[in-house]
A and B are shown apart, each in its own frame.
Chain A
Amino acid sequence: MRRQIHALAVAGACALATTAGAETGSGGLAPFRIVAADGTDAIPDSLTDKAGDAAAGAKVVVNRRQGNCLGCHQVSSLKTESFHGEVGPSLDGVAGRWSAAHLRMIVVNPKHVFGEATVMPAFYRIDGLSRVRTEFQGKPILTAQQVEDVVAYLTTLK
């Protein structure tokens, strides 16, 4: 199965490609395509022109106002940071379990990989959400570049 869709269409239940085009431009998300790789959805292409920066990604993973991935995940190499959550699995060795394209999909919208019931938030999605506080409306949790930086960081977790 191979699909050509824009971020706005991707974000909700995939069948409901309704709002595409409604928010292109400055407030909109970068377009991307989702393909199935080894039977699991993946995003093969970078969301940005600039290569991801793993060191910057590590900061996003830690930062409570950004990724706050440590809210739910443990990462042994970030031991100097206090308080790693337990809601999700350890991210140690995650690069060995997933390709970069799959990791990008997981960060953008993990429902594509883990199913609707997953607790993990979609970090690059703006539709299909309810009661979003005004200051966050129309904005994904992470910018496209932050997603790329996080993906670059995750690929170092061998």
Chain B
Amino acid sequence: MPSVPLRVALAAAVILASAVAPQAQDGAERPAWQGHGIKPQSPDSPFDQVVSGLYFRSKETQAMQADDFNNPGFLAVEQGEELWSKVDGAAGKSCASCHNEAATSMKGVAAAYPKWNEKLSKPVNLEQRIDLCRKGAMKAEPYAFGSPELTAMTTYLRNQSRGMPVAVKVDGPMTPWFERGKALYYQRNGQLDLACANCHEKNHGKYLRADFLSQGQSNGFPVYRLRDQRLVPLHERMEGCMQDVRATPFKPLSDEFLALETYVAWRGLGLPVETPAVRN
């Protein structure tokens, strides 16, 4: 995020928070998320304003995300940068052998993921795209989902799009995946019988016990979670949300999560990529 709007945002947050001080959350300052959104880019959007998860977090967390030197997620950006030019695999290549400078070749790329893959005849997300290159061009072992390497590379590549608008395409062959993701988003699951939409569409801007509910946007992922002290990829976050309603989560990189990732990205169309975001 550029620093000027953020400073304005913080000032506004202070004013609004005191105006609507919550009775239920003594001591805690209510994040003032209204007014920090963008106009929905699609007439089908369920939102009046599309708001990054950033503005649903505390002032301290927002400030930490905005300061590249204090943002712990940048350790992963640096790790990803090292891996970018590290030769690995039987072909004796690194990412840089094919793509040169990530700052130019990867600018804006991640903002358009998940993206249709003609060869596989299905969409792939960024993690899957990275491993396709490793297996194919590099003849290297694919990184496992959740490995520090895959998350660092994902974070590094997403960071090359920082500030650029989320620009996922959901037309053409992506349409059935979009539709499937939408159905899953409204599907109630688990013993608590709750859908993504029950929390993130209907109830964002409210406390769910100690958690201040956001719109569940994906523009900041992978996010650095202060609680876990590491970067958390999107599919792990979605697993967590499903666990919380006592449901069996879909598997990371499953078709279900791929469809959901596509649909969730569409819900955040136009939001700036903020990777690495910081969350509590």
Contacts and interface: CB of A to CB of B under 8 A. Distances in A.
A68 B210 CA distance: 12
Contacts of B213: 87
B206 interface: yes
B191 A133 contact: yes
Given A119-B202, A132-B248, A136-B246, A74 B24 contact: yes
Interface in B201-218: 202-203, 206-210, 213
A87 B202 CA distance: 9
B23 A131 contact: no
Contact of B190 (A82, A87, A131): A131
A121 B25 CA distance: 23
A64 B209 CA distance: 9
Interface string A64-88: 1000101110100000001111110
A132 to B, nearest CB: 5
A83 B248 contact: no
A83 B25 contact: yes
A129 interface: yes
Interface in A105-146: 119, 121-122, 129-134, 136, 139, 141
B206 A129 contact: no
A85 B207 contact: yes
Chain B interface size range: 20 to 34
Chain A interface size range: 20 to 34
B10 to A, nearest CB: 23
Interface in B20-67: 22-26
Contacts of A141: 191-192
- Max count, chain A CB within 10 A of own CB: residue among B191, B242, B246: B191
Contact of B203 (A119, A133, A136): A119
Given A74-B24, A87-B203, A121 B210 contact: no
Nearest to A116: B188
B186 to A, nearest CB: 11
B256 to A, nearest CB: 10
Nearest to A141: B191
A82 B26 contact: yes
Contacts of B206: 85-87
B100 interface: no
Contacts of B210: 82-83
B191 A130 contact: no
Contact of A119 (B25, B189, B198): B198
Contacts of B192: 121, 141
Given A71-B208, A87-B207, 17 more contacts: A64-B209, A68-B209, A71-B209, A82-B210, A83-B209, A85-B206, A85-B207, A85-B208, A86-B22, A130-B187, A130-B188, A131-B248, A132-B190, A133-B246, A133-B247, A133-B248, A134-B248
11 contacts: A82-B210, A86-B22, A87-B203, A87-B208, A119-B203, A130-B187, A130-B190, A131-B189, A132-B190, A132-B248, A136-B191
